[in-house]
């Protein structure tokens, strides 16, 4: 196959930061995707409707002329989020989900939830309004091994939560393990998951190939090969519970190449091309459109994008770096060749 045409895809999990860097990175996502669910983990986080509306306008201002791209906003769940904020969010049509970060789990999550019980009024309201709760599914207990944090979260936090809120729409974000795949497959249809390109293409050996490679470090961290294989199987299965969410998470080169480097992989520059590569390797290009362009929209009860994109088989080289405000950004597969190109 030398070309693939897809209904324009959406990115159901994206970090774009704020300020002048928006101009450097938004064009990458806007060239490929019709919409993206924008993560609220700014400093300070986006916790109110007013903040979400203003942030959406700043993102929109960075979309190049003539391109249609809609940022779908989210609110950051805190211990004291009011149920009324969620009702207002639902009414707005601007905010499409609420994000739950266990406090301290990842980049900019200090303001996250310390005890889920404190958020039960907000969760009740989410359940009632049919608005998805997006979960960063890792426990933060320091004694738990970093490679086990997702599996332990599913058993110790997620299962009990779903018992208390059986109708709640939940997206387990950026899943990385066979346990998460099994869990999603076994649950009812209100529970779904996103999968990133890095977790389909790489395993934990890639972090340590010939030395320590900070640009392969993200959270949840890359896992063993057997988990990557389980994720590929899920993504290419045609099961609508699994859909695209890049978790593209830009950090400056200096913040990454540091004695204490930040977690986050930047993939927006070649996101759909990377997924095409992963699907092609598994002879499943015919399953890409459902995963990238249909299942997520259906889950969020939004119409499919009206237009299409085309990828052609034509080698191109990923730049060594991109501009990132007054710093630089090292993209995933910097300097390497891609086989699929967006036309």
Tell me if 149 contacts ligand NCD by CB under 6 A: no
Q: Which of 8, 32, 96, 136 binds ligand NCD (CB under 6 A)?
A: 136
Q: Closest separation between CB of residue 82 and ligand NCD, Å? A: 24
Q: HEC string of 104-164?
A: CCCCCCCCCECCHHHHHHHHHHHHHHCCCEEECCCCCCCCCCCCCHHHHHHHHHHHHHHHH
Compute the distance between CA of residue 12 and CA of residue 245 in angstroms, rounded to an integer: 4
Compute the distance between CA of residue 176 and CA of residue 93 in angstroms, rounded to an integer: 31
Among 5, 6, 15, 8, which Cα is nearest to 194's?
A: 15
Structure tokens at 294: 């249909």
Q: Please report how the helices 225-235 and 178-186 are oriented relative to each other, as an axis angle in degrees rounded to 10.
A: 30
Could you say which of ligand NCD, Zn ion, none residue 161 binds, taking C-beta under 5 to 8 angstroms by partner kind? none
Q: What are phi and psi of 55, to 5 degrees?
A: -65, -40
Tell me if 138 contacts Zn ion by CB under 5 A: no
- Examine the residue annotation and report whether 18 is marked as an active-site residue of this protein: no
Q: Give me the residues paired with residue 97 across strands.
A: 74
Q: Coil, strand or helix: which one is 165?
A: coil
Q: Which residue stretch of 103-111, 141-149, 285-293, 296-304 sits at the interface with ligand NCD (rule: CB under 6 A)?
A: 103-111
Q: Which of 107, 125, 127, 252 binds ligand NCD (CB under 6 A)?
A: 107
Q: Which of 8, 15, 256, 269 binds ligand NCD (CB under 6 A)?
A: 15
How many residues sit close enough to Zn ion to count as binding (CB under 5 A)? 1
Q: For ligand NCD, what does the binding mask look like between residues 153 and 192, x meaning CB under 6 A? A: ----------------------------------------
- Side by side, the strands of the sheet bearing 11-14 are 11-14, 35-38, 70-76, 95-100, 133-135, 170-172, 191-195, 242-244
Tell me if 247 contacts Zn ion by CB under 5 A: yes
Tell me if 248 contacts ligand NCD by CB under 6 A: no
Could you say which of ligand NCD, Zn ion, none residue 245 binds, taking C-beta under 5 to 8 angstroms by partner kind? none
Which of 10, 11, 24, 247 is an active site residue?
A: 247
Q: Which of 83, 103, 263, 334 binds ligand NCD (CB under 6 A)?
A: 263
Compute the distance between CA of residue 92 and CA of residue 210 in angstroms, rounded to an integer: 50
Which residue has the closest beta carbon to Zn ion?
247
How far is the CA of 165 from the CAs of 121, 169, 300, in angstroms? 11, 9, 18
Tell me if 106 contacts ligand NCD by CB under 6 A: yes
Q: Closest separation between CB of residue 255 and ligand NCD, Å? A: 9
How many residues sit close enough to ligand NCD to count as binding (CB under 6 A)? 12
Q: Which residue stretch of 106-114, 126-134, 293-301, 325-333 sits at the interface with ligand NCD (rule: CB under 6 A)?
A: 106-114
Tell me if 102 contacts ligand NCD by CB under 6 A: no
Q: Closest separation between CB of residue 33 and Zn ion, Å? A: 16
Contacts 24+ apart (CB under 8 A), 184-188: 184/234, 184/241, 184/242, 185/234, 185/239, 185/241, 187/162, 187/241
Q: Which of 4, 30, 40, 41 binds ligand NCD (CB under 6 A)?
A: 41
Q: Closest separation between CB of residue 176 and Zn ion, Å? A: 12
Catalytic residue list = 247
Residues that bind ligand NCD (CB under 6 A): 15, 41, 106-108, 136, 218-219, 247, 249, 263-264
């Amino acid at each position: 196959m030398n070309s693939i045409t897809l209904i324009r895809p959406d990115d159901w999990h994206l970090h774009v930061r704020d300020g002048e860097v928006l101009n450097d990175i938004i064009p990458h996502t806007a060239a490929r995707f019709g919409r993206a669910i924008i993560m609220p983990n700014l400093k300070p986080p986006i916790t109110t409707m007013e903040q979400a509306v203003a942030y959406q306008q700043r993102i929109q201002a960075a979309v190049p002329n003539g391109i249609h791209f809609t940022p779908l906003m989210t609110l950051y769940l805190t211990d004291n989020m009011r149920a009324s904020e969620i009702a207002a969010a639902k009414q707005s049509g601007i905010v499409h989900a609420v994000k739950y970060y266990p406090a301290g789990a990842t980049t900019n999550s200090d303001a996250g939830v310390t005890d889920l019980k404190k958020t039960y009024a907000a969760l009740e309201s989410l359940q009632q309004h049919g608005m998805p709760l997006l979960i960063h599914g890792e426990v933060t207990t320091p004694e738990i091994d970093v490679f086990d944090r997702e599996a332990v979260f599913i058993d110790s936090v997620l299962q009990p939560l779903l018992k208390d809120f059986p109708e709640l729409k939940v997206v387990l974000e950026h899943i990385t393990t066979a346990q998460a795949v099994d869990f999603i497959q076994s649950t009812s249809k209100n529970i779904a998951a996103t999968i990133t390109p890095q977790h389909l293409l790489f395993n934990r050996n890639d972090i340590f190939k010939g030395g320590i490679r900070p640009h392969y470090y993200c959270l949840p961290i890359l896992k063993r090969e057997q988990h990557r294989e389980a994720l590929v199987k899920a993504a290419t299965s045609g099961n609508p519970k699994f859909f695209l969410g890049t978790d593209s998470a830009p950090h400056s080169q200096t913040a990454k190449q540091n004695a204490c480097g930040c977690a986050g992989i930047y993939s927006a520059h070649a996101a759909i091309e990377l997924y095409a590569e992963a699907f092609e390797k598994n002879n499943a290009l015919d399953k890409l459109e459902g995963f990238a362009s249909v299942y997520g929209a259906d889950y969020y009860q939004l119409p499919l994008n009206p237009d299409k994109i085309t990828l052609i088989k034509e080698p191109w080289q990923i730049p060594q770096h991109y501009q990132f405000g007054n710093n630089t950004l090292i993209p995933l597969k910097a300097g390497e060749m891609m086989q699929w190109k967006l036309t």
